[in-house]
Amino acid sequence: MTTSESEIQARLLAQALPFMQRYENKTIVVKYGGHAMGNAELGKAFAADIALLKQSGVNPIVVHGGGPQIGAMLSKMGIESKFEGGLRVTDQQTVEIVEMVLAGSINKEIVALINQTGEWAIGLCGKDGNMVFAEKARKTVIDPDSNIERVLDLGFVGEVVEVDRTLLRSRPAVTAAPTTSMRIPSPAPLPARCMPPACCSSPTSPAYSTATAC
């Protein structure tokens, strides 16, 4: 590292110190997605930032999406995506692919990147420990021809109604968990109530965003 780079890093750390002290021993949620997920160097930089948060006394929980990767895998498997009112319809076959990509592939890649920094990360999804509960999404759309409202059946798509934080509070390390919303298929079928967590966010970097929690 050059002198100039050292000076820049020292200045950034000095600026960040008040925030590190403010959130010491607090849990924050970091949403990871966008272009950072498809760029190896940005992925490493993200993991380094998460490790720095942990080392500064903050407890980070990473939540992530994976829409492009899901779409690519569906195309590779020859599964056509269907949409109703601009929302993806998720059948049983599709939700199995979604779970495989989010919980089985992307999640583990993020965990590996964080572990490579020397920190200890674990990967979770909404199924683990019955952590996240959701109800089947009920969306309606107005037919433009008849002006009659009709209910959309989006299949295995739900809206989060409850998050059990027990598993998150007992974790010994940085946690990575798939994220979703009412517009993204759940990586777990929803015959009862199960869906991975979504999070709020406020911009902090072009690559990802954070929101404080608990």
Q: Specify the amino acid at residue 32.
A: Y
The domain in which residue 193 lies consists of 27-213
Radius of gyration, alpha carbons of the chain: 19
CATH number reported for the structural domain that contains residue 81 in this entry: 3.40.1160.10
Q: Is residue 189 part of a domain?
A: yes
Q: Specify the amino acid at residue 15.
A: Q
| Residue 19: other Cβ atoms inside 10 A | 13
- CB proximity list for 40: less than 8 A, separation 6 or greater: none
Q: Is residue 3 part of a domain?
A: no
Q: Is residue 164 part of a domain?
A: yes
pTM over 0.85: no
Q: Is residue 179 part of a domain?
A: yes
Residues comprising the chain, all counted: 214
Contact by Cβ (8 Å): 180, 196: yes
Q: Is residue 203 part of a domain?
A: yes
Q: How many domains does the structure of the chain reveal?
A: 1
Q: Is residue 113 part of a domain?
A: yes
How high is the pLDDT of residue 86? Answer: 78
The per-residue pLDDT string of the chain (214 residues; one tens digit each, 9 = 90 and over) reads 566 777 887 887 788 778 778 888 888 888 898 777 888 899 999 999 899 888 888 889 998 888 888 888 999 999 988 888 778 888 889 889 988 999 888 999 999 999 999 998 888 888 888 888 888 888 888 888 888 888 888 888 888 888 888 888 776 566 666 654 323 333 333 323 323 333 322 223 333 333 333 3
DSSP 193: S
How far is residue 24's CA from residue 22's CA, in Å, rounded to a whole number? 6
